[in-house]
Structure 1
Amino acid sequence: MKETKFRRLRRDELEEVTPQFVKFLSVNGIDADSWVRIKREEPQRADALILQFSQIVFAGVIERVEFLVHRKPHDLRTYRTGPDKIEMRGLLLSGPTKVDLTDISITPSEIFAQLKADGATPKVYSAERAYLPIGRDQDIFLRMEEGALIDGGELFQLLDSL
């Protein structure tokens, strides 16, 4: 089998894309009864098919990613993924505060109001760089494996405007 770029989908992830997996198997000439037999009698082949499908899923998702967000309690990092580089805008909180940047229900205006009330200091920071030598898709995949989630870009644009 060819070298893989991405990991195998976990069982819960595979369950979320069951209809697409069924179509993938069908395109490869495998019906439901054949799949049951392959899993039972040829587990290595079954695993190879799941890995091949995983590559297709991750490549398709990552190709369309424009923005990512990675939240930690006092550090918020947002990313814009271009064709040749990745840009990051972040918000780092210093000082005692009740604000938890992992709470997705709190709005930016509520964050800044609470920071002011707490006397905490927000620091906006930014960076950009070319993708790692492994390429755009695997660089983005690494960000996602570290906890970044696909995002609509609103937070990046807000931090970019500050």
Structure 2
Amino acid sequence: MKYRQLTKEQFESLHKEFAHFLASQSIDVKEWNQIKKEKPAVAEEEMNVFSDVVWDDVLNKTQYVEHFSKTSANLFKCADEEIHRIAIKVTWDIDLLEQKGFEWLMQNPMDNSVEIFRGTKPYHSERNKEIFDLIEKGSNISKGEIYEYFNNLIS
């Protein structure tokens, strides 16, 4: 398995897609229920393969991810060959996880208590695996507005 199996909730939300996936392998509902009952390892493997297909599709489309903590933000732009990072640290007592703190940062990005760093590095392994690792560590896929805001500000 390349990534991790989708959660029960994710499988439920992708019920139709999973049914199409099984149908593409000539497995109907009756046969699927039989496989789950009599060959749980085979059922598990089908679920793993489907999970990898879904994750690859999502990660191929991912261009930005971001991770916020109480006093810092890490914003990533995921290019094909390298990943760009803008790291923001606030050095006074503010909570960027709260709306008030986030709004303060967006209105005061050049305040003396805000430190901004930028870097770029090539992927060490496969692009999608590195993005997946960021997501597993708490990052969220984003549209990139915050990254681009700070990128324009410090360019």
TM-score (norm 2): 0.89
Partner of 1:125: 117
Amino acid at match of 1:7: R
Amino acid at match of 2:105: I
Aligned residues: 153
Equivalent positions of 1:10-159 (< 5 A) are 10-97=7-94, 100-103=95-98, 105=99, 109-112=103-106, 121-132=113-124, 134-159=125-150
Partner of 2:151: 160
Structure 1 gaps of 5+ residues are: none
Q: Offset at 1:55?
A: 0.8
1:53-79 per-residue CA deviation (whole Å, 9 max, x = no partner) reads 011001111011111111111111110
SS in 2 for 1:92: strand
Task: Work out the CA distance in 2 between the residues paired with 1:127 and 1:33.
Answer: 53
- Are residues 110 and 61 of structure 1, via their aligned partners in 2, closer, same or farther at CA, if it must alter by over 3 Å? same
Q: Is the 8 A contact 1:90 1:159 kept in 2?
A: no
Amino acid at match of 2:91: S
TM-score (norm 1): 0.85
Q: Is the 8 A contact 2:62 2:141 kept in 1?
A: yes
